[in-house]
Amino acid sequence: MTEINVSVNGRGHTRDVEPRTLLVHFLREALGLTGTHVGCDTSQCGACTVLLDGRGVKSCTVLAVQANGGEITTIEGLATDGVLHPLQAAFRETHGLQCGFCTPGMILSAVDLLARNPSPSEREIRHGLEGNLCRCTGYQNIVKAVQHAAHTMAGGASAVAGD
């Protein structure tokens, strides 16, 4: 067992973990934060995406011990004081989710994308989400959600033009 200290959604945790524990399992099993999902075993699907020290990472491919000392944000910690993050709101507004399983990872990946590029083109959004698979939406309304959120975060009105 190895002791780790992590801050998750602003709250500190000190835990003993087996070194082989993946960050996603630490979050889900040790902390009960089941909003982070596991969809594959080859680092392809991105359902497990969380922010580690502000960057999107695939928590199925990070050991919990690697996150020692780090600050983690999961989907449960994205809203502040009960107010949805603009990306969360945008996913609902544009119907950017169906079954919801890829959604937490998709939203956090989009947070990372907009942090790097606040006003991405459609092409940049599609390439920026390369690490996240969705089987329900054909990505169309996910792309629209990111466009919508980018507009909102830039201070624009929260409505997007219809199709």
Partner 1 sequence: MATTSEPGASLIGASVKRKEDQRFITGKGRYTDDVTLPGQTYAAFVRSPHANATINRIDASAALAMPGVHAVLTGADMQAAGVNPIPPGWLHPGIKIAEFRALAVGRVSHVGNAVAVVIAASPSIARDAADLVDVDYTDHPAVADAVAALAAGAPQVHPDAPGNVVFNWQLGDAAAVDAAMAGAKSVVRQHLVNQRLIANAIEPRASLANYDAAADELTLYVTSQNPHVHRLIMGAFVLGIPEHKFRVIAPDVGGGFGSKIFIYPEECVVAWASKTLGRPVKWTATRSESFLTDAHGRDHSTDVEMAFDDAGTIVALRVKTVANLGAYLTLFAPAVPTYLYGTLMSGQYNIPAIHVDVTAAYTNTTPVDAYRGAGRPEATYALERTMDVAARQLGLDPAELRRRNLIAPDAFPFQTAVALQYDSGNYEPALDKALALIDYPARRAEQAAGRAAGTHIGIGLSAYIEACGLAPSHIVGSLGAQAGLYESGVVRIHPTGKVTVLTGSHSHGQGHETTFAQIVAQELGCTIDDVEIVHGDTGRVPFGMGTYGSRSGAVGGAALFGSLQKVKDKGRRIAAHLLEAAPEDVDFAGGNFFVKGSPSRTKSFAEVSLAAYLAHNLPPDMEPGLEATTFFNPSNFVFPFGVHIAIVEVDTETGHVTLQRYLAVDDFGNVINPMIVDGQLHGGIAQGAAQALWEGAQYDSNGQLLTGSMMNYGLPKAAFLPMFETDRTVTPSPVNPLGVKGAGEAGTIASTAAVANAVLDALSPFGITHLDMPLTPARIWSAIHGSHGGN
Partner 2 sequence: MYPSSFDYHAAGSVQEALALLAQYGDDAKLLAGGHSLIPVMKLRFAAPAHLIDIGRIPALSAISDGGANVHVGATARHADVAASPIVRTRVPLLAEVTAHIGDPLIRNMGTIGGSIAHADPAADLPAAMLALGASLVLAGPSGTRTVAADDFFTDVFTTALQPGEMLTEVVVPVPGAGSGAAYEKLPDPASGYAIVGIAVQLQVRDGAIASVRVGMTGLGPMPMRLAGVESALAGTAASTAAIAAAAARAGDGLSFDDDVRGSAAYKLNIARVYVRRALVRAMAASAG
Residues that bind partner 2 (CB under 8 A): 2, 18-20, 22, 25, 38, 41-44, 46, 49, 52, 55-58, 60-63, 65-66, 68, 109, 112-113, 116, 128, 130-132
**Which one of partner 2, partner 1, none interacts with residue 19, CB within 5 to 8 A by kind?**
partner 2
**Which one of partner 2, partner 1, none interacts with residue 152, CB within 5 to 8 A by kind?**
none
34 vs 158 by CB, closer to partner 2: 34
Q: How far is CA 60 from the centre of its chain?
A: 13
* Minimum distance from residue 22 beta carbon to partner 1 (Å): 10
Here's the x/- map for partner 1, 13-42, by CB under 8 A: it reads as -----x-x-------x---xxxxxxxxxxx
Q: Please, are residues 61 and 47 in contact by the beta-carbon 8 Å criterion? A: no
For 121-159, give one letter per residue: b (16+ CB within 10 A) or e.
eeeebeebbebbbbeebebebbbbbbbbbbbbbeeeeee
Q: Please state, in angstroms and rounded to a whole number, the distance separating the CA atoms of residues 152 and 88.
A: 12
Tokens 């983690």 belong to: 72
In the structure encoding, which two tokens stand for residue 149, read together?
A: 């959120």
* Minimum distance from residue 64 beta carbon to partner 2 (Å): 10
Q: Please state, in angstroms and rounded to a whole number, the distance separating the CA atoms of residues 91 and 36.
A: 17
* Residues near partner 1, by CB under 8 A: 18, 20, 28, 32-42, 44-45, 47, 74-76, 78-79, 84, 88-89, 91-93, 95, 97-104, 107, 122-123, 125-127, 129-130, 132-143, 163
